[in-house]
Amino acid sequence: MLSLKKLLGKDDKFFDLLEAGAQEAKTSVELFAGALKRIAAGTAAGVSLDEFIQSRRKEKRIRHLMTEELSKTFVTPLEREDIEELSFALYRIPKQVEKIVERLSIYPGKIPHAAFERQAELMLQAADAVVFLVKQLRGGTNIERIREANDRLQFAEGEADKVMLQLLKELYQTPCDPRELVILHDLYEMVEQAVDRCRNAGNVVVQIVLDRKSTRLNSSH
């Protein structure tokens, strides 16, 4: 029997899926930070891709479920384009983390884990902010709390830029195997891009919230 609730987009499935996508994105970042800790502790001979591939596949599955729900729902709680854009933005986070780990797995020398620790910390801060922002879509949006979370996200992204530039500066001032130099250069940029992916997802949420606020204001006049 056709559910009027589902037809009109009144159930929470879209919010559930978006929140699951944000959480999976954060999980991929946590896996990366955990891998660095294992390398630092000498308990990991190398970096396994398997868990990162699984995280990215989970995110992809969430996207597929979202597409299925969109095809079955006549009126959605958010604009369809916004749901699709945010879902894709969230998917790009674990995809980027997987690329980082792929590159780490071919690094010819001892992985300089200490160089990535600050970057990993900023990735975690950014992913936390994304999870928080996505959760704000479900209920009445608190603009002040969203602005504060977005400020944290923008700060993390700005700091990530500075850290990357400092790491690149140190890299080119230190004698290094040419193969290691090329891979490290790419890695520093790729980790910074992971923070960018988080910022992009956060920007989508903020834009959704602002558009909803504008629509409500216009409808009240």
pLDDT in tens, 166-181: 999 999 998 888 888 8
Backbone phi, psi, residue 189, to 5° = -70, -40
Task: Give the model's confidence band at 214: pLDDT under 50 very low, under 70 low, under 90 confident, else very high.
Answer: low
Asked if residue 135 is part of any domain, the answer here is: yes
CATH number for position 125: 1.20.58.220
Asked if residue 3 is part of any domain, the answer here is: no
Asked if residue 173 is part of any domain, the answer here is: yes
Asked if residue 1 is part of any domain, the answer here is: no
Asked if residue 47 is part of any domain, the answer here is: yes
The pLDDT assigned to 75 comes to 85
pLDDT, average across residues 83-108: 91
Asked if residue 186 is part of any domain, the answer here is: yes
Decide: 156 and 180 in contact? Cβ < 8 Å: no
Q: What integer best gives the mean pLDDT of the chain?
A: 86
Give the global pTM: 0.88
Least confident of 4-8, 90-94, 154-158: 4-8
Asked if residue 40 is part of any domain, the answer here is: yes
Q: Could you read off the pLDDT of 38-47 as tens digits, one per residue?
A: 777 665 555 6
The pLDDT assigned to 4 comes to 38
Decide: 198 and 123 in contact? Cβ < 8 Å: yes
Question: How many distinct structural domains can be found in the chain?
Answer: 1
Q: Is the pLDDT higher at 207 or at 116?
A: 207
* Boundaries of domain holding 82: 9-220
Alpha helices in the chain, H assignment, sequence order: 4-7, 13-41, 50-72, 80-105, 113-135, 143-173, 178-220
Decide: 114 and 23 in contact? Cβ < 8 Å: no
Decide: 207 and 143 in contact? Cβ < 8 Å: no
